Structure 1
Amino acid sequence: MSMDMSTVGDTGLLDTLQHEVAVFARRAEQTRLGGVGQVRNSMDRAAYLLLNRLDKEGPMGVKALAASMGIDSSTVTRQVAPLVDTGLVKRTSHPEDGRAVVLQLSPRGLSRLEEVRSSRRQLMAELTHDWTPAERQEFCTLLTRFNTALSARQTSHVVPGTEAQQPS
């Protein structure tokens, strides 16, 4: 689905957009947008996203978790191991099928997640302190749309057998 550049917008504007997205990606990686205070940078992005997903969607198996996050099972298995080791995630048997393993947020994992969420919420408040509520809402809406489009594009461009090379 190729688009004529003129239908998308002015080349200068698109150049600015791609540059600002690149700068944002670099800064986000450097600061890891980890939050403020003691909790700052205390949890990597992969761990945060996994814990967040388990909190929002409840206990699930590795395959379901991988599918819902748009990454492959081996990546989830690798990322979840340290979370199990540190007691943030519990491995339990599936209630119907005892052989299947279900991953679940532990009480410790939930309190850790709440700490990190609160710290990151504080960082967002600081970064946008002089924005109006409408500006915050608009930025959130547009960034969500941008991420959704990016995610859809990634999903449609995965060549079978190359999933493992997708960045996590």
Structure 2
Amino acid sequence: MPTHSDMTTATTARGTTPGPAPEETGVLDSLQHQVAVFARRAEQTRLGGVGQARNSMDRAAYLLLNRLDQEGEMGVKKLALSMGIDSSTVTRQVAPLVDTGMVKRTSHPEDGRAVVLQLSPRGKARLEEVRSSRRELMAIATEDWTADERDQFCTLLTRFNAALSVIHGAPQLATPS
């Protein structure tokens, strides 16, 4: 059960009152519980999809490859900034992707000391394999939902993630197209 110090200040039409209104407490308790359950399920399955691709790519690798696919080649610092993590973390997480040939590391054309990271054809193919498997998992998990319910859930989850990014001062992660 969240304590008063766990709650953020509510800034709604009722003014700036610490904590939620009494009528909101139940739904906020339920929401935080469901988010905790979701986090556990996501970690248990790593949302790795179905079939052979299940659990075959960790979250960090997926997010890095996806970012390079969405935004194109970039330096370590820019990639770190866009993901809200520090450069040393990106360097550490990219190393196995370079070793397995999924990311190419080259010198910056204007500054030979700087490194540019680029998704390789092998990385692109592997990313699409994992995306396809995860897409299938999402289809199965929401098979009894209408298209509108899926769209609404995606919109609300995107909004929720954006709000958490703002609260924690992290950049918002790009949504795959």
Instruction: Compute the TM-score of the two structures, normalised by the length of structure 2.
Output: 0.85
Partner of 2:21: 6
Q: How does 1:148-159 map to 2 (within 5 A)?
A: 148-155=162-169
2:127 to 113, 117, 121: 113
Deviation at 1:6, TM superposition (A): 1.4
4+ long deviations beyond 2 Å: none
Whether 1:49 aligns to 2:63 is yes
Structure 1 stretches lacking a partner, 5+ long? 157-168
CA distance in 2, matches of 1:26, 1:39: 20
CA shift digits 1:77-117 (9 cap, x unpaired) = 11001001111001011122222110000110000000000
1:2 and 1:127 mapped to 2: Cα distance? 34
Shift of 1:40: 0.5
TM-score w.r.t. the length of structure 1 is 0.89
Distance (Å, rounded) in 1 between the aligned partners of 2:136 and 2:117: 29
Shift of 1:55: 0.3
Of Structure 1 and Structure 2, the greater strand share is in: 2
1:124 maps onto 2:138 in alignment: yes
Could you say which residue in structure 2 is the equivalent of 1:20?
A: 34
CA distance in 2 between partners of 1:71 and 1:25 (Å): 20
Structural RMSD (CA): 1.3
Structure 2 unaligned residues grouped into runs of 5+: 1-7, 11-16, 171-177
The answer for the alignment partner of 2:94 in structure 1 is 80
> Which residue in the other structure is 1:102 paired with?
116
- The alignment partner of 1:10 has SS state of helix
Superposed CA deviations along residues 2-38 of structure 1, whole A, max 9, x for unmatched, are 223119x611111000000000001100011100001
Q: CA deviation at 1:46?
A: 0.2
Partner Cα distance (1:51, 1:14) in 2 = 34
Whichever structure has more helix as a proportion of its residues is 1
Percent identity, please.
78
